[in-house]
Structure 1
Amino acid sequence: MQAGRKRPISVALSDVLIRTAAGALPVHAREEWIEERSAEAWHRWQFLEDAGAWGRWEAMALVYSCLASCAQALWRVIADEVVRNRIREGARSPWLYLGVLGGVLAVVAVLTSGFPATRQMLGSGTQSSHLLFIWRHPIVGGGDRGLPSDVVPAWAEHSRLLEGVAGFRVGKELLKQPHSTAFQPAVIVGDMRLFQVLKAQPLLGSLLKPGIVLDHRTWSSIFHGKAEVVGSRVPIGEKSFRVVAVLPKNFYFLTRQPTIYLIQPVLTGPRVMVVARSRPGATKTQIDQELTRIAEDVAYYFFRSQLRLRFVESALLAPLVSFGFAAIIAALMILAACRPRLDRIRLAWRPENRRATAWRGAFFVAKLSLALAILFLAGLESSRTEASMMFGSRDPGSGPFLLWIYIAGAMGIFFWSVADQRARCRVCLRLLCFPVRIGCPGCLLLDWSGTELLCAQGHGILHVPHLAPTWDTEAEHWIALDDSWRDLFASTK
């Protein structure tokens, strides 16, 4: 064979792949593995070159065979007993559980685009202060309904407990878009007092004129964020209206989906929805009595015991209240099932045990908090979607379905957290392993019968009885192992 022959690119690339795959191997076996694989690739190239069979396909086959060396290196790492023991120890580690829960929470954040419903609930600000919805629930003949349109100006003129009252309705008109887009914005028809009650400030234009008001998402997507759209005419349904204003980015009303507001001088129609802003100190009972009296004296409508009022702040926080209620129920049930004893609690908080107890408590609280956060955020984001409307009792985040999901989920999380905590070492918090059945299940009165779980680090043994009698208060107990047992555990050497 000729000396000093220049190596082709495929052979050099094979060497790079081999050295890259060797990075996964232990340090003591790395150089030998690189020499073996590199020599194999080099001799293959030399043999085919001398035989006159070296070509493009043989070069590709050489690179492909070196790619397979990555899988071989990974398999060799997995087959190594030391690595397998480390994988087992990592699977039993408390940090893995916290990492998995944190990863699930991050996935929920990505899927929901950053928890928009939660941010809306917690960041309503001063715009939702003293803001309330008003609707009618007839005593006989059906569910929630709107109110007559002529009762709104009567309330706005004569009420002393309300700063402002406005009527609105969700329109069925469609925006005739010049270009096809991926969505159709919702249309909300309101009177001239709507944005005054909502205390909204325009980004462009004026909110004191009748016409079309665009929210920020509709303006930036359909109209491409052009300021010239203010003053132009936009067709909605069979008519066209002039655009008078654009709302800021952080403004939401009823829904988070793209919305167009059609403001009319006088809102007509058989039924309208009502939004109002109360004065500080006014209660729902006082407002109900005043509005009922005004409706009877001015508009001749008799709404006694038929008006329903709900503050927007309480409606936004309703899922949080439901979740807190579910968490309290689950906590009380787990306390009743576990029946913690005061003497064990005092023993755990003695000075010599205080540090280990604090470490176990911190892990339990972190694990429980992450799991409950996933339940709460996933339930809220899935119920209050972007297209959902929140008005009165129609809020999907306040229904009984979400409450029962929270109750069932919180119960499962609490019971899982306690069961997982009991199955862990009292010192290192790793999951116990090597279960051994001891005793005879039918000889409960004569001897102990159950399963013993061992800590792989040699910290102790947990006795779990098959059947715990009421007279045995120490049926499930932990036995700590001293240093004389450490030589039996290879991982501690």
Structure 2
Amino acid sequence: MSTLRAHWSLITHAMLRCAGFLVPCDQRNVWLQEWRSELWYVSRADSQEPDSVLASEKRAANFCMGAFQDAWYLRRDSRPAPQPFVRTSQSAMRCAAALFLITCVSCIASLLLPRVRSVMESLPYADPGHIVLIASAGFSSPELPSVRMRELRLWQSRTRQIFSEFAFYQPITRPIRLSSHYTPELRIAKATPNLFSLLGIRPAIAAMEHQSMPVLLVSENVWRKEFHGDPNLIGSTVEIGLHKAKLGGVVAKDQWRLPGVFDAWLLEPETATTISNSARGFVLGRLSVSASNRDLGGRWHMVAPQTDGDPGDYECVTLPEREGAPTHIYIFAVLLALLALPATTSLPLGEYPVQGSQMSWLLRLRRWVFLGVKFVLLLPAVYFTSLDFAHAFAVSLVTAQYIQLVLSFLMALFGFRWILKDQRRRCPVCLNTLTSPARVGEPSRNFLGWNGTELICSGGHGLLHVPELPTSWFATQRWLYLDASWSSIFLGSV
């Protein structure tokens, strides 16, 4: 009899042990102690009954079967209650959509505007890294004509180790006469015949070979407006002032990326010396292929002889360096705006207490993701918009670069300010814009009570307290979470 009772005791305790695996670990020991004590009382009560030992042990086993149900309910009730899903507010979605739309519009405008698109593309010249723009160091800007023709003719015989070829062009203004038709005053570049061959480009429908007369190349605008795009006029004789020239072809818009805005280019023949020694213009040089020239970099100073025998100081800039990639200007402006941002607005977003029971890590992460999305969408919008305004019009490259620098800095600075201000005025739970501002307190009681503005989330997630004057105990805005008991007075989460 005692042996049978011992076997049933092992079975019932094993059942409790198995049921205990369903109980959370931190509650398992206490739960087992309670059920073992209850089982002991059940066994003592059955031992006083006149029933057989087998019947009493069966009742104890049935009692232990209830432990499985109890353990299951305990495990289910111990799970944290799932937090209700909080949708992102419509105002946050509209904000991100508006920034995305601005970015797309500015990008499309950059692709549609010919001048802006050409700036974003690489230079159309052959090996532009070996083409150098030479300007006198005494001038305020390399975009102004600063080298005289007599200096170039002197260099052609003395700088073969550095430069293999030179080209020269001088800005002039003249009307063009074709038969009885006169054009208005046009901006013309009077150049040496190797100007376009040095650049490695060939104008469209050009007829320039073996010409004893100067060759006139016109821009696309002049070709359509003054010559009506008639290809039969190619090779005809035109008059430029008192001189005659052959109409040689058309220069595309994206083929001219050098200093000066021109309507036409007058290429003098090699045998002519119509460009006077005193003419002041722009000089291009193609670097010789040598190991020493590779170490010169994109910008350097050159000392070269002048006609009076004294050495002159000249600034040499390669064409890619002169272009000053718009991306470099943009990055510099954005970094400058980031440095100036703390001086124009406060950087902290406020005090938001960490309450795990009220706000999951996913909701906290969503708030920072929204902040990052605004920055990510703003930066390309600033880049493309500054390019559109800077390069959409026919201005010099230096002027366009200054315009891009100023616009990028201002748009980035005020854009960053707006992002921080917008983030401070949003609910950290649903990202909805806070509403119903109310003044609380009195200015004369800053040190006795709170004084400032109180805003509320229309979804009932909390209140934002913004101090009127920062104090030592209330230096920045604070967020106060509202628990579920407040939900009855709100229409519902946004």
Q: TM-score range by the shorter chain?
A: 0.5 to 0.7
| Cα distance in 2, alignment partners of residues 491 and 355 from structure 1 | 20
Q: Residue 302 of structure 1 corresponds to which residue in structure 2?
A: 310
| Cα distance in 1, alignment partners of residues 193 and 489 from structure 2 | 82
| Cα distance in 2, alignment partners of residues 348 and 403 from structure 1 | 44
- Provide the identity percentage: 22
Aligned residue identity for 2:265: Y
The offset of 1:284, in angstroms, is 5.9
Gaps of 5+ in 2: 1-87
Q: Residue 199 of structure 1 corresponds to which residue in structure 2?
A: 200
Q: Verify: 1:288 aligned to 2:301, yes or no.
A: yes
Q: Verify: 1:444 aligned to 2:446, yes or no.
A: yes
The offset of 1:133, in angstroms, is 1.9
Note the alpha carbon deviations across 1:434-456, whole angstroms, 9 max, x for none: 11222333323333322121122
Asked if the contact 1:432–1:453 (Cα under 8 Å) also holds between the matched residues in 2, the reply is: yes
Secondary structure in structure 1 of the residue aligned to 2:294:
coil
Q: Residue 283 of structure 2 corresponds to which residue in structure 1?
A: 274
Q: Residue 487 of structure 1 corresponds to which residue in structure 2?
A: 488
Gaps of 5+ in 1: 1-89
Of 238, 248, 259, which residue of structure 2 is paired with 1:234? 238
| Cα distance in 2, alignment partners of residues 440 and 93 from structure 1 | 32
Q: Verify: 1:147 aligned to 2:151, yes or no.
A: no
Gap change, CA 1:287 and 1:320, over 3 Å in 2:
closer
Asked if the contact 2:301–2:314 (Cα under 8 Å) also holds between the matched residues in 1, the reply is: yes
The offset of 1:432, in angstroms, is 0.9
Q: Verify: 1:212 aligned to 2:216, yes or no.
A: yes
The offset of 1:223, in angstroms, is 3.1
Task: Provide the TM-score with structure 1 as the length reference.
Answer: 0.65
The offset of 1:414, in angstroms, is 1.7
Q: Verify: 1:333 aligned to 2:340, yes or no.
A: yes
Gap change, CA 1:111 and 1:445, over 3 Å in 2:
same
Aligned residue identity for 1:396: T
Of 115, 118, 142, which residue of structure 1 is paired with 2:116? 118
| Cα distance in 2, alignment partners of residues 367 and 453 from structure 1 | 23
Gap change, CA 1:130 and 1:426, over 3 Å in 2:
farther
Secondary structure in structure 2 of the residue aligned to 1:442:
helix
The offset of 1:184, in angstroms, is 6.5
The offset of 1:182, in angstroms, is 11
> How large is the Cα RMSD of the aligned pairs?
4.2
Aligned residue identity for 2:94: L
Asked if the contact 1:432–1:454 (Cα under 8 Å) also holds between the matched residues in 2, the reply is: yes
Note the alpha carbon deviations across 1:110-148, whole angstroms, 9 max, x for none: 8888344432222133524343322224389xx965212
The offset of 1:217, in angstroms, is 4.0
The offset of 1:457, in angstroms, is 2.1
Q: Residue 427 of structure 2 corresponds to which residue in structure 1?
A: 425
| Cα distance in 1, alignment partners of residues 119 and 320 from structure 2 | 8
| Cα distance in 2, alignment partners of residues 377 and 353 from structure 1 | 38
Aligned residue identity for 1:240: K
Secondary structure in structure 2 of the residue aligned to 1:272:
strand
The offset of 1:335, in angstroms, is 4.7
Secondary structure in structure 2 of the residue aligned to 1:288:
strand
| Cα distance in 2, alignment partners of residues 444 and 255 from structure 1 | 62
Gap change, CA 1:468 and 1:215, over 3 Å in 2:
same
Q: Residue 135 of structure 2 corresponds to which residue in structure 1?
A: 135
| Cα distance in 2, alignment partners of residues 179 and 406 from structure 1 | 49
Note the alpha carbon deviations across 1:298-335, whole angstroms, 9 max, x for none: x455343x322333323323654343223212213335
Gap change, CA 1:213 and 1:251, over 3 Å in 2:
same
Q: Residue 169 of structure 1 corresponds to which residue in structure 2?
A: 170
Higher radius of gyration, 1 or 2 = 2
Name the structure where helix makes up a greater proportion of residues.
Answer: 1
Secondary structure in structure 1 of the residue aligned to 2:149:
coil
| Cα distance in 2, alignment partners of residues 229 and 272 from structure 1 | 30
State which drifts further: 361-370 or 457-466.
361-370
Aligned residue identity for 2:188: V
